[in-house]
Structure 1
């Protein structure tokens, strides 16, 4: 019975006709159903050129000017907008496969485009028609079999991609069961990561799975001690880390602290981190209030103190947590408080505080105090997912805008942030919120979902 169910599932799964060597695959089950995504991108594109439908439509076909979000352009080219289309991107070019409603109309337009610089004569053998021609520094063409066509374009003037396309057309596409588990009008596949995209005029919905996210395993819980907590900020996230992931989560924090406190004894930092890990239940709350760049982002302290943030973690035994924190009193720059310690470091101060069964760690006193004041035994509530988050896109835009020119010139990652600010900043500033959730998935992966909501006036006259 199980084998029959599995067979039925695979039979119903989308089967992208994609190159095995593709870096990225875009699969569109039905181009005729892209109206919601088109509506969102049209509004978002007013503020970010990268989001404009025209920017993406040019990638649908290697050499024909088609817009998958306007079905009539596909129909005019003999392509069926109600059938699947798959685009494979490789380093040297792309291959676009689709089902045809009118093979003759497709060939007429394809040959006209290919013959713009030289005469092209298609050849047919064993029921497969091929045609190719030089295009710029490379070569473009198509392979047609019955009502299936795969078109290609390569940066090099050779027959390698034509041969690969012929091979692709000669085999039956394998069903990809991952796509049936995700909602979406468009699917983007990059190795072990799959994302489904859809939208409305107001929102973009992205849901996906990945085995490559650099995150610890999580587990859902009937109740989170932070489930009903109400806070405002650039980012608020609640999570429950699985026991197997606590060392990884604490290790990331320990590494960051060690970077900005090189005089802190590494063995003692490690010992405190291990003692704290043993007391954690896995329930966490992250509050990033805002970004204030006070020092060069090229330095560890500049990166560490730029986001004004604090983390709360529930502990099993308050008394044992206090014991675990006691060695901090001997750290350089340490000052004992009634409820914990502060560490004066280059670039700022780190606070390690305790409120009942909660540990609070932060790099900004005001944010730490805000979080401490919000903690309450009445804040417990059920959460539907292991992790949830809400971000204020306007504060994200302000944070990105603080990357300096010198930082850009000296650091490739910071240059990427600047590029993101220049391209996405106006769109973020005209967005209402970004929210989502994440769960662990079988096999060590994660499943995630993000909803991007535009402001009511964004992209409207």
Structure 2
């Protein structure tokens, strides 16, 4: 019975006609089923030009202009609008495979377009052998372009320009396209486990994502085997299950013992970075002792970004956002004892329920209140989190749940200036995101999602980006 179930699931899974070892793979099971996703992109693209469908659809084929929103752009090229499209991106170029409704019409349209790639050619001639029809054209600007066709399957390719020297990559892509049209594509089990009208896969990173949407929401769900995330427990009861989301980022999580240890190692490294005068051996001893006395239930809140933060130093970046982390402890007395050495750290102040470390960029706070330990860089955020911890917990549907306030994210991104990028090039990506997506984020309603661990060390994740009902 299990074999039949597995066979049925694989049969229903998307079957991309994918090249060998692509860097990125994009698969659309049906080009006429993208209306929901394109509706979101059209609306999101008004304030964020990089999300406009025209930008993405221009990359679907090496030499044909295809727009799944307009089926006639497909039928005029002899392509079946109800068929799949698979785009394989490789270091040497790209291959786009489609199913044809009219092979002859496709050849006529392809010949006209390929003629423009090399005006010196008087005619684009196709070669047919053993049922395989193919064209290879050297581009006037360098590199090769063409297609392979067998029956109603066509794979078009274009190599990355190697200048005016033939580097042979075009012939490699030509051979791969010829192989692809002659084989039955294999079902992709990872894609088959995910909902979506469009799939993106990055094999080397073990990442597969399914996307779908509507005019008001984008749904993203995926799996990753090499994500920089700790291991989580299965869904279960959390003491923070009923705490209401607030701030720029709000998240509840249930970490496994190994995940908790990894998280505390990250905390230790971060504290060592912002407090270089803190004794490293004692800091490591404290974090190990505390890590072993945590249940794995944690609550994270980032309220927002401070005005004009100093983003050019590690301590400045640490204190740029107002944030706090609350973790449930198994043995409050043992944790209190483990924290005692903090009293002798440079800049330390003993508080009624914990300690404060006065550092160069601000003050780091640790408070132990009952069975909950708070670590934060803002007194208001830390105290607020501790004050709303309920007396009874609630079951979480997933190991991690999170909410994001897009407007606060947009406001925070504005704090990254061009001069910050000049001083630290690592901030260029954040600065670019602010320019490109900031206007869309400021008009968005909310972003929410969840994560779970998978057997073998991977993760499954889901996120929903919602826009207001009316623009």
Whole-Å Cα distance in 1 between the matches of residues 16 and 151 of structure 2?
Answer: 17
Give the TM-score taking structure 2 as reference length. 0.94
2:192 alignment counterpart = 180
1:275 alignment counterpart = 289
Match of 2:131 among 127, 132, 135: 127
1:422 and 2:435 are equivalent in the alignment: yes
2:231 alignment counterpart = 217
Whole-Å Cα distance in 2 between the matches of residues 50 and 359 of structure 1?
Answer: 42
Q: What displacement does 1:138 show? A: 2.2
Whole-Å Cα distance in 2 between the matches of residues 220 and 160 of structure 1?
Answer: 46
2:175 alignment counterpart = 163
Gaps of 5+ in 2: none
1:345 and 2:359 are equivalent in the alignment: yes
Bigger Cα displacement from structure 2, 349-358 vs 368-377: 368-377
Q: What displacement does 1:295 show? A: 4.6
2:341 alignment counterpart = 327
- SS of the residue 2:238 aligns to: coil
- SS of the residue 2:260 aligns to: helix
Q: What displacement does 1:220 show? A: 2.4
1:148 alignment counterpart = 153
Give the TM-score taking structure 1 as reference length. 0.96
1:81 alignment counterpart = 81
Counterpart mapping for 1:289-300 below 5 A: 289-292=303-306, 294-300=308-314
Whole-Å Cα distance in 2 between the matches of residues 11 and 198 of structure 1?
Answer: 21
Whole-Å Cα distance in 1 between the matches of residues 317 and 88 of structure 2?
Answer: 37
RMSD of equivalent CA atoms? 1.4
Counterpart mapping for 1:62-461 below 5 A: 62-116=62-116, 117=119, 118=121, 119-135=123-139, 136-156=141-161, 158-191=170-203, 192-292=206-306, 294-378=308-392, 380-458=393-471
Whole-Å Cα distance in 2 between the matches of residues 60 and 177 of structure 1?
Answer: 23
Counterpart mapping for 1:1-16 below 5 A: 1-16=1-16
Whole-Å Cα distance in 2 between the matches of residues 235 and 295 of structure 1?
Answer: 18
List structure 1 runs of 4+ shifted beyond 4 angstroms. Answer: none
Deviation track 1:2-50 (CA, whole Å, cap 9, x = no partner) reads 3333333323322211111311100000011100011101100001011
Deviation track 1:205-229 (CA, whole Å, cap 9, x = no partner) reads 0000000111111112431111110
Aligned residues of 2:26 and 2:88 also touching (Cα < 8 A)? yes
Deviation track 1:151-186 (CA, whole Å, cap 9, x = no partner) reads 111123542221222223333322211111100000
Q: What displacement does 1:294 show? A: 4.9
Deviation track 1:407-438 (CA, whole Å, cap 9, x = no partner) reads 21233320011011110111111101110000
Whole-Å Cα distance in 2 between the matches of residues 287 and 109 of structure 1?
Answer: 56
Gaps of 5+ in 1: none
2:50 alignment counterpart = 50
Aligned residues of 1:57 and 1:69 also touching (Cα < 8 A)? no
Whole-Å Cα distance in 1 between the matches of residues 335 and 198 of structure 2?
Answer: 48
Per the alignment, do residues 305 and 171 of structure 1 end up closer, same or farther by CA in structure 2, a change over 3 Å counting? same
Deviation track 1:284-313 (CA, whole Å, cap 9, x = no partner) reads 000000011555312111111111100000
2:34 alignment counterpart = 34
Aligned residues of 1:60 and 1:68 also touching (Cα < 8 A)? no
Counterpart mapping for 1:14-25 below 5 A: 14-25=14-25
Q: What displacement does 1:278 show? A: 1.0
Whole-Å Cα distance in 2 between the matches of residues 290 and 303 of structure 1?
Answer: 13
Whole-Å Cα distance in 1 between the matches of residues 418 and 284 of structure 2?
Answer: 36
Deviation track 1:43-62 (CA, whole Å, cap 9, x = no partner) reads 00001011101001101111
